[in-house]
Amino acid sequence: MDAVATSRVLAALGHEGRLLTFMLLGRAGPEGLPAGEIARRAGHLQNTTSTHLSVLSHVGLVVGRREGRSIIYAAAPGRFDEALSFLASGFDHGQSADEPPAFQQRLALGPFRGAREDSRSDAA
């Protein structure tokens, strides 16, 4: 996983409703839950739940499978683990100077989109 994919996963979880939906599905295990049950347990409207599930599915945090007329959703914890591993790689103090972590490689490409030029000089 790279910085772009990790930021998308974190952005998807950056909304309280989506975070709680993902946690609810994590607790449900691999058997998952139908969308209506997710909405009921989370206390959300069904269309809100559908939007949350769509965003989480788009970044690979949730998978759906059809069972009859229902779609059963389950958490995809592997994707979450990949994002956490990438994020944790930035804190690997045992990394040698000639093998920078992935985030340092990205920084070497230049400032992030939307980064202010003067904010780089503040960190120095």
Segment 5-60, tens digit of pLDDT: 999 999 999 999 999 999 999 999 999 999 999 999 999 999 999 999 999 999 99
Classify residue 52 by its DSSP letter: H
In whole angstroms, give the CA distance from residue 117 to residue 37: 48
Q: Nearest 5°: phi and psi at 90?
A: -75, -10
Share of the chain above pLDDT 70, in %: 73
Task: With beta carbons less than 8 A apart as the criterion, state whether 55 and 44 touch.
Answer: no
Residue 96 reports pLDDT greater than 80: no
Position 73 scores a pLDDT of 97
pTM exceeds cut of 0.85: no
Task: With beta carbons less than 8 A apart as the criterion, state whether 76 and 63 touch.
Answer: yes
103's tokens: 């985030």
Show me where the domains of the chain are located.
Answer: 3-78
Position 3 scores a pLDDT of 87
Q: Residue written as tokens 């000089």?
A: 121
Position 108 scores a pLDDT of 52
CATH number of 3-78: 1.10.10.10
Position 54 scores a pLDDT of 97
Higher pLDDT, 68 or 120: 68
Position 104 scores a pLDDT of 57
Task: With beta carbons less than 8 A apart as the criterion, state whether 21 and 49 touch.
Answer: yes
